[in-house]
Amino acid sequence: MLLQIPALMDLQEVRSLRAIIDAGDWTDGNATSGHQARLVKHNLQLPEDCEAARRGAQIVLGCLSRNPLFIAAALPHRIYPPMFNSYSGGQTYGLHVDNAVRVRAGTDWRVRSDLSMTVFLENPEDYDGGELTVETRFGVQTVKLAAGDAVLYPSSSLHMVQPVTRGRRVASFFWIQSMVRDEGARNSLLDLDQSIQTLASRVGQDDPSIVRLTGVYHNLLRHWTEC
């Protein structure tokens, strides 16, 4: 599943976030990379423990908590604190798969990376290149969204960021451990949830069929959840 989430952040939230992170001290993105990533990763990144990154992460997390599509699709159990990267002057991140487990430096706090997420923080007309390309079972999909829009995709996917040849691409990125590990089960639950919402808007939340379908949804979630 590759899912676009429009307007995760509104324009004012994007502006406030950019004011915070643009003032931070950006460093080589390979400071937090493993050996394999160092071979293909060329970008800048805000250090995870800096004040700008911590404040920015809180803004992104607040937007996630208020977005029903994200919650329905990800069924989040743990979210790695959002991080921030920047690409310009031909910088790129070559084809790779995200690490299966992300551990916060200096702690034993960890997240199984079921899903990866990118929140775009620069309008696409302001830079050339920088497309996120993700290899899916339906072929390669290319994503370049408006500032404030986000995309959610399996962390197991091969993906890359194309070289940025003009301007600057700024984004937030992070990983989610879902309550439901199995991708097929998560996709089925999302389809059922969205169908229930559509039907409820037509017949009302108190319609007996909606009540029964909601019960089916929660019983399936109860069966598949791991937390």
Give residue-wise pLDDT tens across range 1-10: 899 999 999 9
Q: Give yes or no for residue 141 having a pLDDT over 90.
A: yes
Task: Assign domain 3-178 to a CATH class.
Answer: mainly beta
Note the pLDDT of residue 72.
98
- d(CA 84, CA 120) in angstroms, rounded, equals 10
CATH number of 183-224: 4.10.860
Average pLDDT, the chain: 95
Do the domains 3-178 and 183-224 sit in the same CATH topology, yes or no?
A: no
Global pTM reads 0.94
pLDDT grade for 126, boundaries at 50, 70 and 90: very high
CB 123 within 8 A of CB 147: yes
Note the pLDDT of residue 30.
80
In tens, the pLDDT along 180-217 reads: 999 999 999 999 999 999 999 999 999 999 999 999 99
Domain range annotation of the chain? 3-178, 183-224
